[in-house]
């Protein structure tokens, strides 16, 4: 098994100052381009008296079966842990549903027969 040369960065500052900074920057650019092309958000004016929510980069190294690096993955997420229903948001939804998850739910919904 191949040993990784470096650990996953804990934050964006570590990612952009480590030896793999070019790979991390590329992964972050790909995430932002994906969000732009899929119209993930709409830019609006912030209501009076409200503060914008922060965001955080989640950085992961995806590995092949032999332990070598397959790719660098960056995902930006909102810091929504301090929001209040009815004040900061009205409804909640799931971002992505994987087809394999749906298949698993349907396959386990029937009567179990050994």
In a domain, 69, yes or no: yes
In a domain, 80, yes or no: yes
Number of domains in the chain: 1
pTM: 0.63
In a domain, 25, yes or no: yes
Q: Which domain holds residue 34?
A: 12-108
In a domain, 94, yes or no: yes
CB 58 within 8 A of CB 12: no
28-86 residue pLDDT tens: 999 999 988 998 888 888 888 877 878 889 999 999 999 889 999 999 888 766 666 67
Matching residue, tokens 């929510």: 53
Instruction: Tell me the helix, strand and coil percentages in the chain, rounded to 5.
Output: 25, 20, 55
């Amino acid at each position: 098994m191949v040993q990784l040369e470096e650990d996953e960065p804990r934050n964006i500052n570590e990612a952009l100052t480590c030896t793999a900074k070019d790979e991390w920057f590329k992964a972050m650019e790909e995430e932002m381009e994906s969000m732009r092309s899929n119209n993930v958000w709409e830019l609006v004016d912030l209501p009076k008296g409200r503060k914008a929510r922060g965001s955080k980069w989640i950085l992961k190294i995806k590995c092949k079966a032999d332990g070598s690096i397959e790719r660098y993955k960056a995902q930006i997420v909102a810091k929504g842990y301090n929001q209040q229903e009815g004040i900061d948001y009205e409804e909640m939804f799931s971002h992505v549903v994987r087809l394999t998850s749906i298949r698993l739910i349907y396959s386990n919904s029937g009567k179990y027969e050994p």
